[in-house]
């Protein structure tokens, strides 16, 4: 299977940035480059990849903080999130100040994403699910040949995303998980925005917030 991925924890929040690539063509994308650009570009170089795109699940600082700088310096397109997160993108400078991050450069996504869209790197095609609730514009990326999902802060091993932010909503988040993620199958493994990987089946059985749904 040509699709490969590697987790690169970044920032003080240990956010799981994912480097994804087509192992045939070595074309690569970064999902949620929140910071630590040296770490990210070091992995790209070490693996002999060509970084071509940035994909965003949502626009919180630990996920999107390095996006503007990377896109500007390397000439990369920014794909996602959904336009519901525009106000979070606009607030990135304040977010970086509030959390003591390096200044985050403003940016405008090259392409907004919607439920049912696809994104492509090399010959690999991933499906997009719009999963609001943690933020209104949050999207999830799903790779069907390896049955792997990159879910940002929607779902964690044993937990779900916070919903106490502006335009966050608990019922909306639970509905996103049960109606947009569970149908992909119990055997789907996922990389969350923070912490260890898990599978949808495991969370369906034992997650205290969405177990038994």
Interface ranges with Zn ion (CB under 5 A) = 60, 62, 153, 193
Comparing C-alpha atoms, which of 142, 154, 156, 153 is closest to residue 185? 142
Query: CB-wise, 61 or 124, nearer to Zn ion?
Result: 61
- Which residue, 5 or 60, is less far from Zn ion as judged by CB? 60
Give the other-Cβ count within 10 Å of 74's Cβ: 13
Please report how close the Cβ of residue 11 comes to Zn ion at its closest, in angstroms. 9
Q: Which is nearer to Zn ion, 62 or 117 (CB)?
A: 62
- Residue with smaller CB distance to Zn ion, 122 or 193: 193
Nearer CB in complex with Zn ion: 124/139:
139
**Nearest approach, Cβ of residue 43 and Zn ion (Å):** 20
Identify which of 33, 128, 42 has the alpha carbon closest to the alpha carbon of residue 72: 33
Nearer to Zn ion, 35 or 68 (CB): 35
* Whole-number Å distance between alpha carbons of 183 and 169: 21
Residues in the chain: 213
């Amino acid at each position: 299977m040509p699709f490969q991925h590697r987790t690169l924890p970044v920032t003080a929040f240990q956010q799981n940035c994912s480097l994804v690539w087509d192992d045939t063509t070595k074309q690569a994308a970064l999902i949620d480059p929140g910071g630590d650009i040296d770490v990210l570009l070091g992995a790209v170089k070490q693996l002999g990849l060509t970084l071509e795109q940035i994909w965003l699940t949502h626009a919180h600082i630990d996920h999107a903080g390095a996006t503007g700088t990377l896109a500007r310096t390397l000439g990369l397109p920014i794909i996602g999130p959904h336009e519901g997160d525009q106000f979070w993108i606009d607030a990135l400078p304040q977010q970086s100040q509030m959390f003591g991050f390096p200044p985050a450069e403003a940016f405008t996504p090259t392409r907004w994403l919607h439920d049912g869209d696809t994104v492509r790197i090399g010959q690999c095609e991933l499906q997009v699910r719009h999963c609001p609730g943690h933020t209104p514009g949050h999207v999830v990326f799903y790779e069907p040949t390896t049955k792997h999902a990159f879910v940002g802060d929607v779902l964690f091993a044993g937990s779900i995303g916070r919903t106490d932010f502006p335009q966050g909503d608990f019922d909306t988040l639970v509905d996103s998980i049960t109606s947009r993620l569970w149908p992909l199958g119990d055997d789907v493994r996922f990389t969350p925005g923070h912490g260890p990987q898990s599978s949808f089946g495991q969370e369906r059985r034992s997650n205290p917030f969405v177990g038994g749904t």
